[in-house]
Structure 1
Amino acid sequence: MDVLAAITFHRHDQALRAVMIDNQPWFVVPDVSRLIGLHHPTVLARSVYPDDLRPVRLRGDCGVVSVEVLNEPALYEALGRHRHPGSQGLGQWFRESVIPPLLDQQQNVPQLPRHRDLGFLDIPALDWQGDVWVTREEMPTFERVDDKPTGPKGFWRR
């Protein structure tokens, strides 16, 4: 298992460590538990699906530590399930102050594909190695247009 470097965020004098794994944000379970007002991290770990948790090794001030992390969907599930009076605005803080910097961190790696907005078309695309990639199913299709108008006879006559 690789040793990862976590990015630390602070909210009301409490630290939150997060890492990017496979271009997805993951959050340290004890830190999230503390932020939402749970007294023990196992309460949070038992309340989410096992697939949403993963053990990782993080490089910290005291060396390498093994911790459990949860993914972004499990984070929002936990925020909805474990409401605490002191955690108001926590979801907004994650959406606006935590997740965008994590995603921007991955922008510095040109070898990785990035999602791209084509603007005028509402289809998903990837920008990878200088080219725009679109799935075959999402490619626009063109239909043959008949030269004859379709409508009642004499439609264009006065």
Structure 2
Amino acid sequence: MSHDYYVPTVFHRHHRALRALLIDDQAWVVARDLGPLTNCHVDDRLPRKLDPDQWRHERLENHQGDVEQELLFSESAVCELLRVNFYHPEHRGLRQWFTGEVVTGLRSAANPQLPKQRRVAWQGKEYSLMEWQGRSWVRVADVAGLFEGKGHMLLP
């Protein structure tokens, strides 16, 4: 990077922001943004529970345009924290959102030639949709849910 700070991408879940970015093709998130998402306290002692390669400090631009030092957690650290330190059964959905939308979104934006994944709502349920080579793709696991309760399927 040509300057001495990073500009994160902001993702939202249940009206709470998570700032995330790619550094050397690795997904990183702002540690203090995890607190409101998990209802857990994130402090400066938390990195001691992680391996040294799972956290770092970097200068980031905030939403007001100011640059500040932030503690960042890697993708593996977030998944480990959700599974071990912040364990709660509802965090499975948070982890799925994080790996399925945040990490995927960061990588898609960095590599526009790769398939893009997004969530779509249909008949009150959310499904994962992948756009690739000019076509839309749905996971086989979701196909049954798309036609649940229907007596017939319409084929193109």
* TM-score category (smaller protein): 0.5 to 0.7
Residue in 2 that maps onto 1:14: 16
Check whether the contact 1:36–1:83 (CA below 8 A) recurs between aligned residues: no
Residue in 1 that maps onto 2:127: none
Tell me how far apart the structure 2 counterparts of residues 91 and 61 of structure 1 sit (CA, whole Å): 25
Aligned length, in residue pairs: 110
Residue in 2 that maps onto 1:102: 106
Tell me how far 1:97 sits from its aligned partner: 1.3
Check whether the contact 1:38–1:44 (CA below 8 A) recurs between aligned residues: no
Tell me how far 1:106 sits from its aligned partner: 1.3
- Rate the CA distance shift 1:25–1:76 in 2: closer, same or farther, 3 A: same
Residue in 1 that maps onto 2:81: 78
Q: Percent identity?
A: 35
Of 80, 88, 94, which residue of structure 2 is paired with 1:90? 94
Tell me how far apart the structure 2 counterparts of residues 102 and 19 of structure 1 sit (CA, whole Å): 7
Residue in 2 that maps onto 1:58: 60
Tell me how far apart the structure 1 counterparts of residues 42 and 79 of structure 2 sit (CA, whole Å): 18
Tell me how far 1:65 sits from its aligned partner: 1.1
Question: Normalising to structure 2: TM-score of the pair?
Answer: 0.63
Tell me how far 1:51 sits from its aligned partner: 2.1
Residue in 2 that maps onto 1:35: 37
The one-letter code of the counterpart of 1:44 is L
- Residue-by-residue CA offset, 1:113-145 (whole Å, 9 max, x unaligned): x9xxxxxxxxxxxxxxxxxxxxxxxxxxxxxxx
- Residue-by-residue CA offset, 1:11-69 (whole Å, 9 max, x unaligned): 11111000110011111111123322212333532321122111111111331111011
1:48 and 2:50 matched: yes
Tell me how far apart the structure 1 counterparts of residues 79 and 43 of structure 2 sit (CA, whole Å): 16
| Paired residue secondary structure (1:42) | coil
Tell me how far apart the structure 2 counterparts of residues 29 and 41 of structure 1 sit (CA, whole Å): 9
| Paired residue secondary structure (1:20) | strand
Residue in 2 that maps onto 1:131: none
Question: Normalising to structure 1: TM-score of the pair?
Answer: 0.62
Tell me how far 1:95 sits from its aligned partner: 1.8
- Compare CA radii of gyration and give the structure with the larger one: 1
| Paired residue secondary structure (2:111) | helix
1:105-120 alignment runs, 5 A limit: 105-108=109-112
Q: List gaps (5 residues or longer) in structure 2.
A: 115-156
Higher relative contact order (CA 8 A, sep 6+): 1
Of 26, 51, 69, which residue of structure 1 is paired with 2:72? 69
